[in-house]
Chain A
Amino acid sequence: MVRIAVPLRGAAHRFALGFLIVTAFGLMFLGKADNQFVERLRTAVTDVATPILEVAAEPISAVNRAIDHVRALAALHQENARLREEVERLRGWHAAALRLETENRSFRDMLNYRGPERNAFVSARVVADGRGPFVKSLLVNIGTRDGIEKGHAAVTQLGLVGRVTEVGERSARILMMTDLNSRIPVLIEETRARAILAGDNTERPQLVFLPDATRLKPGQRVVTSGHGGGLPHGLPVGVVSGVEKGIPRVRPFVDWGRLEYVEIIDYDVDNVPPNLSTGRSGKSGAPPPGAGSAP
Protein backbone atom coordinates (compact mmCIF):
# COMPACT_ATOMS: atom_id res chain seq x y z
CA MET A 1 0.00 0.00 0.00
CA VAL A 2 2.80 2.35 0.89
CA ARG A 3 4.52 1.67 -2.43
CA ILE A 4 1.50 2.80 -4.40
CA ALA A 5 0.74 5.73 -2.15
CA VAL A 6 4.20 7.32 -2.31
CA PRO A 7 4.32 8.15 -6.05
CA LEU A 8 0.66 9.14 -5.92
CA ARG A 9 1.35 11.51 -3.11
CA GLY A 10 4.30 12.91 -5.02
CA ALA A 11 2.08 13.64 -8.01
CA ALA A 12 -0.55 15.22 -5.78
CA HIS A 13 2.12 17.42 -4.21
CA ARG A 14 3.42 18.52 -7.59
CA PHE A 15 -0.10 19.30 -8.75
CA ALA A 16 -0.83 21.24 -5.57
CA LEU A 17 2.40 23.19 -5.94
CA GLY A 18 1.66 24.14 -9.54
CA PHE A 19 -1.88 25.14 -8.63
CA LEU A 20 -0.66 27.30 -5.75
CA ILE A 21 1.97 29.04 -7.89
CA VAL A 22 -0.69 29.86 -10.47
CA THR A 23 -2.94 31.17 -7.68
CA ALA A 24 -0.13 33.37 -6.36
CA PHE A 25 0.42 34.75 -9.86
CA GLY A 26 -3.31 35.38 -10.09
CA LEU A 27 -3.17 37.37 -6.85
CA MET A 28 -0.31 39.40 -8.28
CA PHE A 29 -2.33 40.36 -11.33
CA LEU A 30 -5.46 41.06 -9.29
CA GLY A 31 -3.40 43.19 -6.91
CA LYS A 32 -1.92 45.08 -9.84
CA ALA A 33 -5.42 45.84 -11.06
CA ASP A 34 -6.24 47.32 -7.63
CA ASN A 35 -8.66 44.56 -6.91
CA GLN A 36 -10.80 44.95 -3.79
CA PHE A 37 -10.44 41.30 -2.90
CA VAL A 38 -6.66 41.44 -2.67
CA GLU A 39 -6.82 44.57 -0.53
CA ARG A 40 -9.39 43.05 1.79
CA LEU A 41 -7.32 39.88 2.09
CA ARG A 42 -4.30 41.95 2.99
CA THR A 43 -6.06 44.10 5.56
CA ALA A 44 -7.68 41.00 7.06
CA VAL A 45 -4.21 39.54 7.63
CA THR A 46 -2.83 42.79 9.04
CA ASP A 47 -5.87 43.21 11.31
CA VAL A 48 -5.21 39.80 12.84
CA ALA A 49 -1.46 40.27 13.06
CA THR A 50 -1.43 43.80 14.47
CA PRO A 51 -2.28 42.91 18.10
CA ILE A 52 0.36 40.13 17.99
CA LEU A 53 2.95 42.50 16.56
CA GLU A 54 2.06 45.10 19.18
CA VAL A 55 2.89 42.63 21.93
CA ALA A 56 6.03 41.46 20.14
CA ALA A 57 7.25 45.03 19.65
CA GLU A 58 6.98 45.77 23.38
CA PRO A 59 10.32 44.20 24.42
CA ILE A 60 12.03 45.98 21.55
CA SER A 61 10.79 49.36 22.65
CA ALA A 62 11.69 48.50 26.26
CA VAL A 63 15.27 47.73 25.23
CA ASN A 64 15.28 50.83 23.08
CA ARG A 65 14.08 52.98 25.97
CA ALA A 66 16.72 51.47 28.25
CA ILE A 67 19.47 52.23 25.73
CA ASP A 68 18.19 55.78 25.31
CA HIS A 69 18.10 56.17 29.07
CA VAL A 70 21.71 55.04 29.54
CA ARG A 71 22.82 57.19 26.64
CA ALA A 72 21.01 60.18 28.07
CA LEU A 73 22.66 59.65 31.48
CA ALA A 74 26.08 59.54 29.89
CA ALA A 75 25.51 62.73 27.97
CA LEU A 76 23.68 64.55 30.76
CA HIS A 77 26.30 67.16 31.41
CA GLN A 78 26.87 68.14 27.79
CA GLU A 79 23.17 67.96 27.08
CA ASN A 80 22.48 70.35 29.92
CA ALA A 81 24.97 72.90 28.62
CA ARG A 82 23.60 72.56 25.11
CA LEU A 83 20.02 72.98 26.29
CA ARG A 84 20.90 76.09 28.30
CA GLU A 85 22.34 77.62 25.18
CA GLU A 86 19.31 76.61 23.19
CA VAL A 87 16.92 78.05 25.76
CA GLU A 88 18.77 81.36 25.51
CA ARG A 89 18.50 81.27 21.75
CA LEU A 90 14.86 80.20 21.71
CA ARG A 91 13.86 82.85 24.22
CA GLY A 92 14.63 85.39 21.54
CA TRP A 93 12.58 83.41 19.01
CA HIS A 94 9.73 83.07 21.46
CA ALA A 95 9.53 86.83 21.88
CA ALA A 96 9.64 87.21 18.11
CA ALA A 97 6.91 84.58 17.68
CA LEU A 98 4.63 86.29 20.19
CA ARG A 99 5.12 89.61 18.49
CA LEU A 100 4.48 88.10 15.04
CA GLU A 101 1.43 86.22 16.28
CA THR A 102 -0.15 89.40 17.57
CA GLU A 103 0.74 91.20 14.39
CA ASN A 104 -0.56 88.31 12.30
CA ARG A 105 -3.84 88.24 14.22
CA SER A 106 -4.39 91.93 13.72
CA PHE A 107 -3.67 91.60 9.98
CA ARG A 108 -6.09 88.72 9.74
CA ASP A 109 -8.74 90.72 11.52
CA MET A 110 -8.18 93.57 9.08
CA LEU A 111 -8.44 91.26 6.07
CA ASN A 112 -11.24 89.18 7.54
CA TYR A 113 -9.11 86.15 6.63
CA ARG A 114 -10.19 82.70 7.72
CA GLY A 115 -7.06 80.57 8.12
CA PRO A 116 -6.70 76.85 7.60
CA GLU A 117 -8.63 74.68 10.01
CA ARG A 118 -6.73 72.89 12.67
CA ASN A 119 -6.55 69.29 11.73
CA ALA A 120 -7.56 66.48 14.01
CA PHE A 121 -4.97 63.79 14.45
CA VAL A 122 -4.61 60.37 15.97
CA SER A 123 -1.38 58.93 17.28
CA ALA A 124 -0.47 55.51 15.99
CA ARG A 125 2.19 53.04 16.90
CA VAL A 126 4.35 51.50 14.19
CA VAL A 127 3.96 47.73 14.55
CA ALA A 128 5.67 46.47 11.42
CA ASP A 129 8.37 47.89 9.29
CA GLY A 130 7.94 47.08 5.62
CA ARG A 131 11.09 48.82 4.54
CA GLY A 132 12.34 46.01 2.35
CA PRO A 133 14.53 46.49 -0.70
CA PHE A 134 11.41 47.00 -2.85
CA VAL A 135 8.85 48.73 -0.69
CA LYS A 136 8.99 51.45 1.87
CA SER A 137 5.93 51.23 4.04
CA LEU A 138 4.88 50.96 7.65
CA LEU A 139 2.08 49.15 9.39
CA VAL A 140 0.39 51.03 12.24
CA ASN A 141 -2.04 49.89 14.91
CA ILE A 142 -5.04 52.08 14.10
CA GLY A 143 -7.66 51.71 11.41
CA THR A 144 -11.21 52.56 10.38
CA ARG A 145 -12.46 52.29 13.96
CA ASP A 146 -10.19 55.22 14.83
CA GLY A 147 -11.46 57.27 11.92
CA ILE A 148 -8.53 56.69 9.60
CA GLU A 149 -9.09 56.82 5.87
CA LYS A 150 -7.02 56.33 2.77
CA GLY A 151 -5.06 59.38 1.76
CA HIS A 152 -4.59 60.81 5.25
CA ALA A 153 -1.14 62.18 5.96
CA ALA A 154 1.22 60.49 8.42
CA VAL A 155 3.64 62.82 10.19
CA THR A 156 6.01 62.93 13.15
CA GLN A 157 7.02 66.01 15.14
CA LEU A 158 9.73 66.54 12.53
CA GLY A 159 7.69 66.33 9.37
CA LEU A 160 5.84 64.26 6.82
CA VAL A 161 6.33 60.48 6.73
CA GLY A 162 3.92 59.50 3.98
CA ARG A 163 0.26 58.81 3.44
CA VAL A 164 -2.20 56.09 4.30
CA THR A 165 -2.74 53.67 1.42
CA GLU A 166 -4.61 50.76 2.99
CA VAL A 167 -6.94 50.70 5.95
CA GLY A 168 -8.22 47.75 7.91
CA GLU A 169 -10.37 47.87 10.98
CA ARG A 170 -7.48 48.11 13.40
CA SER A 171 -4.47 48.43 11.12
CA ALA A 172 -3.36 50.74 8.36
CA ARG A 173 -0.48 50.83 5.93
CA ILE A 174 1.48 54.00 5.36
CA LEU A 175 3.32 54.38 2.09
CA MET A 176 6.45 56.33 2.93
CA MET A 177 7.38 59.27 0.73
CA THR A 178 10.56 57.44 -0.25
CA ASP A 179 8.65 54.52 -1.84
CA LEU A 180 8.83 54.06 -5.57
CA ASN A 181 5.07 54.56 -5.85
CA SER A 182 4.82 57.67 -3.69
CA ARG A 183 3.90 61.02 -5.33
CA ILE A 184 3.30 64.04 -3.12
CA PRO A 185 2.48 67.56 -4.31
CA VAL A 186 4.92 69.95 -2.65
CA LEU A 187 6.22 73.46 -3.00
CA ILE A 188 9.51 75.15 -2.28
CA GLU A 189 8.66 77.38 0.66
CA GLU A 190 10.90 80.27 -0.33
CA THR A 191 10.09 80.55 -4.04
CA ARG A 192 6.58 79.00 -3.95
CA ALA A 193 7.54 76.84 -6.93
CA ARG A 194 5.32 73.79 -7.17
CA ALA A 195 6.65 70.31 -7.77
CA ILE A 196 5.90 66.66 -7.17
CA LEU A 197 7.99 64.75 -4.66
CA ALA A 198 8.55 61.33 -6.23
CA GLY A 199 10.04 58.48 -4.22
CA ASP A 200 12.51 56.09 -5.82
CA ASN A 201 13.27 53.74 -2.90
CA THR A 202 16.33 55.77 -1.93
CA GLU A 203 16.45 57.88 1.22
CA ARG A 204 16.28 61.09 -0.81
CA PRO A 205 13.18 61.40 -3.00
CA GLN A 206 13.29 63.38 -6.25
CA LEU A 207 11.61 66.65 -7.14
CA VAL A 208 9.88 66.29 -10.50
CA PHE A 209 7.71 68.56 -12.66
CA LEU A 210 9.54 71.57 -11.29
CA PRO A 211 9.02 74.69 -13.44
CA ASP A 212 12.04 75.23 -15.73
CA ALA A 213 12.89 78.65 -14.40
CA THR A 214 13.06 77.50 -10.81
CA ARG A 215 16.42 77.95 -9.22
CA LEU A 216 17.08 75.58 -6.36
CA LYS A 217 19.46 76.16 -3.52
CA PRO A 218 20.46 73.42 -1.11
CA GLY A 219 18.80 73.98 2.24
CA GLN A 220 15.55 75.43 0.90
CA ARG A 221 12.57 74.08 2.82
CA VAL A 222 10.07 71.88 1.02
CA VAL A 223 6.50 71.68 2.33
CA THR A 224 3.31 70.00 1.15
CA SER A 225 1.36 72.22 -1.20
CA GLY A 226 -2.06 70.80 -0.50
CA HIS A 227 -2.80 70.76 -4.23
CA GLY A 228 -4.96 67.95 -5.44
CA GLY A 229 -6.54 67.63 -2.00
CA GLY A 230 -5.84 64.92 0.48
CA LEU A 231 -2.89 66.44 2.26
CA PRO A 232 -3.05 69.64 4.28
CA HIS A 233 -1.05 72.63 3.07
CA GLY A 234 2.28 73.44 4.64
CA LEU A 235 3.34 70.21 6.34
CA PRO A 236 7.14 70.26 6.58
CA VAL A 237 8.65 67.65 4.25
CA GLY A 238 12.39 68.27 4.07
CA VAL A 239 15.09 70.45 2.61
CA VAL A 240 16.56 70.52 -0.89
CA SER A 241 19.74 68.49 -0.57
CA GLY A 242 21.17 69.27 -3.98
CA VAL A 243 21.08 68.23 -7.59
CA GLU A 244 22.60 64.87 -8.48
CA LYS A 245 22.96 64.00 -12.15
CA GLY A 246 20.41 66.63 -13.07
CA ILE A 247 17.86 65.33 -10.56
CA PRO A 248 17.01 67.62 -7.65
CA ARG A 249 16.63 65.67 -4.44
CA VAL A 250 15.12 66.33 -1.03
CA ARG A 251 16.43 65.26 2.35
CA PRO A 252 13.34 64.50 4.48
CA PHE A 253 13.14 65.93 7.99
CA VAL A 254 11.93 62.63 9.39
CA ASP A 255 14.40 60.51 11.30
CA TRP A 256 13.85 57.17 9.57
CA GLY A 257 15.83 55.32 12.21
CA ARG A 258 13.40 56.21 14.98
CA LEU A 259 9.91 55.75 13.72
CA GLU A 260 8.08 54.37 16.72
CA TYR A 261 5.00 56.55 16.63
CA VAL A 262 3.39 58.57 13.89
CA GLU A 263 0.41 60.91 13.82
CA ILE A 264 -2.26 60.45 11.22
CA ILE A 265 -3.78 63.77 10.24
CA ASP A 266 -7.42 63.83 9.35
CA TYR A 267 -7.55 66.65 6.85
CA ASP A 268 -11.23 66.43 6.13
CA VAL A 269 -12.30 68.10 9.36
CA ASP A 270 -16.01 67.76 8.65
CA ASN A 271 -15.70 64.00 8.80
CA VAL A 272 -14.08 63.77 12.20
CA PRO A 273 -15.66 60.87 14.04
CA PRO A 274 -16.95 61.71 17.53
CA ASN A 275 -14.22 59.75 19.32
CA LEU A 276 -11.57 61.93 17.71
CA SER A 277 -12.66 65.06 19.46
CA THR A 278 -12.29 63.48 22.88
CA GLY A 279 -9.53 61.55 24.54
CA ARG A 280 -7.38 60.28 21.74
CA SER A 281 -6.84 63.43 19.78
CA GLY A 282 -4.23 65.94 20.80
CA LYS A 283 -1.32 65.01 23.00
CA SER A 284 -1.20 67.23 26.10
CA GLY A 285 -2.51 70.21 24.19
CA ALA A 286 0.45 70.35 21.83
CA PRO A 287 -0.49 71.74 18.42
CA PRO A 288 -0.43 69.16 15.67
CA PRO A 289 2.70 69.45 13.59
CA GLY A 290 2.31 71.71 10.64
CA ALA A 291 -0.86 73.29 11.94
CA GLY A 292 0.83 76.49 12.96
CA SER A 293 -0.38 79.76 11.54
CA ALA A 294 1.12 80.84 8.27
CA PRO A 295 2.84 84.22 8.44
Chain B
Amino acid sequence: MKSGFWQRLDTWARRFLPAGLCLLFVLVTVLPVPVPGYASLVPMLALAAVFFWAVHDPRLLPPVVVFLIGLIQDSLSGAPMGTGTVVLLAVYGVTVSQRRYFHNRSFIQVWVGFMVMASAAAALGWLLTVAVDGAFAPPRALLFQSLLTVGAYPLVTWVLHRAQRLLPAEA
Protein backbone atom coordinates (compact mmCIF):
# COMPACT_ATOMS: atom_id res chain seq x y z
CA MET B 1 0.00 0.00 0.00
CA LYS B 2 2.84 2.36 0.80
CA SER B 3 4.89 1.60 -2.26
CA GLY B 4 4.52 5.02 -3.82
CA PHE B 5 7.05 6.67 -6.05
CA TRP B 6 9.09 8.13 -3.20
CA GLN B 7 9.12 4.85 -1.38
CA ARG B 8 10.48 3.11 -4.43
CA LEU B 9 13.04 5.82 -5.03
CA ASP B 10 14.11 5.45 -1.42
CA THR B 11 14.52 1.68 -1.67
CA TRP B 12 16.35 2.05 -4.95
CA ALA B 13 18.73 4.63 -3.51
CA ARG B 14 19.43 2.45 -0.50
CA ARG B 15 20.20 -0.55 -2.66
CA PHE B 16 22.78 1.47 -4.52
CA LEU B 17 24.35 2.68 -1.32
CA PRO B 18 27.02 -0.08 -0.98
CA ALA B 19 28.17 0.29 -4.59
CA GLY B 20 27.95 4.07 -4.36
CA LEU B 21 30.13 4.16 -1.27
CA CYS B 22 32.72 1.92 -2.95
CA LEU B 23 32.79 4.33 -5.89
CA LEU B 24 33.14 7.26 -3.53
CA PHE B 25 36.12 5.55 -1.92
CA VAL B 26 37.69 5.04 -5.35
CA LEU B 27 37.27 8.75 -6.10
CA VAL B 28 38.73 9.74 -2.73
CA THR B 29 41.83 7.65 -3.33
CA VAL B 30 42.61 9.26 -6.69
CA LEU B 31 41.95 12.88 -5.72
CA PRO B 32 45.08 14.99 -6.10
CA VAL B 33 45.84 15.91 -2.50
CA PRO B 34 48.91 18.15 -2.47
CA VAL B 35 50.71 16.30 0.30
CA PRO B 36 54.07 14.82 -0.68
CA GLY B 37 53.84 11.06 -0.89
CA TYR B 38 50.09 11.03 -0.30
CA ALA B 39 49.25 9.36 -3.58
CA SER B 40 51.62 6.44 -3.18
CA LEU B 41 50.50 5.83 0.40
CA VAL B 42 46.77 6.45 0.26
CA PRO B 43 44.98 3.40 1.70
CA MET B 44 43.17 1.01 -0.64
CA LEU B 45 39.76 2.10 0.62
CA ALA B 46 37.75 0.31 -2.06
CA LEU B 47 39.47 -2.95 -1.08
CA ALA B 48 38.43 -2.43 2.54
CA ALA B 49 34.85 -1.68 1.49
CA VAL B 50 34.64 -4.75 -0.76
CA PHE B 51 35.95 -6.89 2.11
CA PHE B 52 33.42 -5.35 4.49
CA TRP B 53 30.42 -6.12 2.29
CA ALA B 54 31.76 -9.60 1.49
CA VAL B 55 31.86 -10.33 5.22
CA HIS B 56 28.63 -8.65 6.27
CA ASP B 57 26.28 -9.07 3.35
CA PRO B 58 27.63 -10.03 -0.09
CA ARG B 59 24.10 -9.83 -1.54
CA LEU B 60 24.41 -6.05 -1.34
CA LEU B 61 27.49 -6.08 -3.55
CA PRO B 62 27.16 -8.67 -6.34
CA PRO B 63 30.35 -9.79 -8.15
CA VAL B 64 29.50 -7.81 -11.27
CA VAL B 65 29.45 -4.61 -9.23
CA VAL B 66 32.85 -5.50 -7.76
CA PHE B 67 34.07 -6.03 -11.32
CA LEU B 68 32.80 -2.60 -12.43
CA ILE B 69 34.33 -0.89 -9.40
CA GLY B 70 37.63 -2.57 -10.23
CA LEU B 71 37.49 -1.35 -13.83
CA ILE B 72 36.72 2.21 -12.75
CA GLN B 73 39.54 2.10 -10.21
CA ASP B 74 42.03 0.80 -12.78
CA SER B 75 40.94 3.39 -15.34
CA LEU B 76 41.28 6.32 -12.95
CA SER B 77 44.44 5.26 -11.17
CA GLY B 78 46.27 4.44 -14.39
CA ALA B 79 47.11 0.94 -13.19
CA PRO B 80 47.39 -1.70 -15.94
CA MET B 81 43.78 -2.43 -16.86
CA GLY B 82 42.39 -5.47 -15.07
CA THR B 83 45.06 -5.83 -12.38
CA GLY B 84 43.12 -4.06 -9.64
CA THR B 85 39.94 -5.74 -10.85
CA VAL B 86 41.41 -9.23 -10.46
CA VAL B 87 42.62 -8.30 -6.97
CA LEU B 88 39.21 -7.00 -5.86
CA LEU B 89 37.39 -10.02 -7.28
CA ALA B 90 39.85 -12.43 -5.66
CA VAL B 91 39.49 -10.76 -2.26
CA TYR B 92 35.72 -10.77 -2.67
CA GLY B 93 35.61 -14.43 -3.71
CA VAL B 94 37.92 -15.69 -0.97
CA THR B 95 36.17 -13.64 1.71
CA VAL B 96 32.70 -14.80 0.67
CA SER B 97 33.87 -18.41 0.74
CA GLN B 98 35.24 -17.87 4.27
CA ARG B 99 32.16 -16.05 5.51
CA ARG B 100 31.36 -18.80 7.97
CA TYR B 101 34.68 -18.14 9.69
CA PHE B 102 33.91 -14.44 10.05
CA HIS B 103 30.40 -15.08 11.31
CA ASN B 104 29.89 -13.87 14.89
CA ARG B 105 33.52 -12.97 15.35
CA SER B 106 34.67 -9.93 17.28
CA PHE B 107 35.77 -6.85 15.40
CA ILE B 108 39.42 -7.54 16.21
CA GLN B 109 39.20 -11.02 14.67
CA VAL B 110 37.64 -9.64 11.50
CA TRP B 111 40.33 -6.98 11.44
CA VAL B 112 43.05 -9.64 11.65
CA GLY B 113 41.29 -11.43 8.80
CA PHE B 114 41.39 -8.22 6.80
CA MET B 115 45.09 -7.85 7.56
CA VAL B 116 45.73 -11.24 5.97
CA MET B 117 43.52 -10.45 2.99
CA ALA B 118 45.01 -6.99 2.43
CA SER B 119 48.56 -8.38 2.50
CA ALA B 120 47.63 -11.14 0.08
CA ALA B 121 45.88 -8.59 -2.13
CA ALA B 122 48.94 -6.32 -2.15
CA ALA B 123 51.19 -9.25 -3.05
CA LEU B 124 48.83 -10.35 -5.84
CA GLY B 125 48.59 -6.81 -7.17
CA TRP B 126 52.37 -6.52 -7.19
CA LEU B 127 52.79 -9.85 -9.00
CA LEU B 128 50.23 -8.95 -11.65
CA THR B 129 51.77 -5.52 -12.24
CA VAL B 130 55.25 -6.98 -12.54
CA ALA B 131 53.89 -9.57 -14.98
CA VAL B 132 52.16 -6.94 -17.12
CA ASP B 133 54.95 -4.35 -17.02
CA GLY B 134 57.64 -6.96 -17.46
CA ALA B 135 59.84 -4.99 -15.08
CA PHE B 136 60.62 -5.17 -11.40
CA ALA B 137 58.82 -2.53 -9.36
CA PRO B 138 60.29 -1.81 -5.94
CA PRO B 139 57.73 -3.21 -3.49
CA ARG B 140 58.61 -0.93 -0.57
CA ALA B 141 55.87 1.67 -1.12
CA LEU B 142 53.44 -1.22 -1.28
CA LEU B 143 54.32 -2.31 2.24
CA PHE B 144 53.47 1.10 3.66
CA GLN B 145 50.30 1.25 1.62
CA SER B 146 49.18 -2.13 3.00
CA LEU B 147 49.91 -1.02 6.56
CA LEU B 148 47.88 2.15 6.08
CA THR B 149 45.05 0.18 4.49
CA VAL B 150 44.90 -2.13 7.50
CA GLY B 151 45.09 0.94 9.73
CA ALA B 152 42.21 2.61 7.90
CA TYR B 153 39.94 -0.41 8.22
CA PRO B 154 38.28 0.60 11.53
CA LEU B 155 37.31 3.95 9.99
CA VAL B 156 35.93 2.28 6.87
CA THR B 157 33.98 -0.16 9.06
CA TRP B 158 32.55 2.70 11.08
CA VAL B 159 31.35 4.53 7.96
CA LEU B 160 29.91 1.38 6.36
CA HIS B 161 28.18 0.20 9.56
CA ARG B 162 26.38 3.52 9.67
CA ALA B 163 25.45 3.10 6.01
CA GLN B 164 24.25 -0.44 6.67
CA ARG B 165 21.68 0.88 9.13
CA LEU B 166 20.12 2.91 6.34
CA LEU B 167 19.62 -0.16 4.19
CA PRO B 168 16.21 -1.78 3.82
CA ALA B 169 15.78 -4.86 5.99
CA GLU B 170 15.01 -7.11 3.02
CA ALA B 171 17.38 -6.23 0.25
Contacts and interface: CB of A to CB of B under 8 A. Distances in A.
A17 B50 CA distance: 14
Given A21-B90, A260-B32, A28 B77 contact: no
A132 B81 contact: no
B113 interface: no
From A13, A20, A45, A46, residue with most partner B Cβ within 10 Å? A20
Interface residues of A, number: 52
A64 B141 CA distance: 25
Residues of B in contact with A, size category: 35 or more
A260 B34 contact: yes
Interface in B22-70: 27, 30-40, 58, 62-64, 66-67, 70
B82 A133 contact: no
Given A21-B86, A41-B81, A180-B137, A134 B34 contact: no
- A interface majority secondary structure: helix
Interface stretch (A48-56, A108-116, A188-196): A48-56
B71 interface: yes
Contacts of B96: 13, 17
Nearest to A18: B93
Given A20-B67, A45-B71, A53 B31 contact: yes
A27 B72 contact: no
Interface in A1-45: 13-14, 16-17, 20-21, 23-28, 30-32, 38, 41-42, 45
A129 interface: yes
Contacts of B78: 130, 132, 135, 137, 139, 173, 175
Given A28-B132, A45-B72, A52-B27, A134 B32 contact: no
Nearest to B145: A133
A279 to B, nearest CB: 25
Contacts of A13: 58, 62-63, 96
Contact of A258 (B34, B71, B145): B34
B89 A131 contact: no
Given A27-B71, A135-B80, 18 more contacts: A17-B89, A17-B92, A17-B93, A20-B64, A20-B66, A20-B67, A28-B128, A41-B81, A42-B81, A46-B75, A49-B72, A49-B75, A129-B33, A137-B78, A175-B78, A180-B137, A257-B37, A259-B34
Contacts of A98: none
A135 B79 contact: yes
**4 nearest interchain CB pairs?**
A130-B78, A131-B39, A28-B82, A27-B82
B138 interface: yes
From B36, B80, B81, B132, residue with most partner A Cβ within 10 Å? B81
A180 B63 contact: no
Given A64-B34, A180-B133, A130 B72 contact: no
B167 interface: no
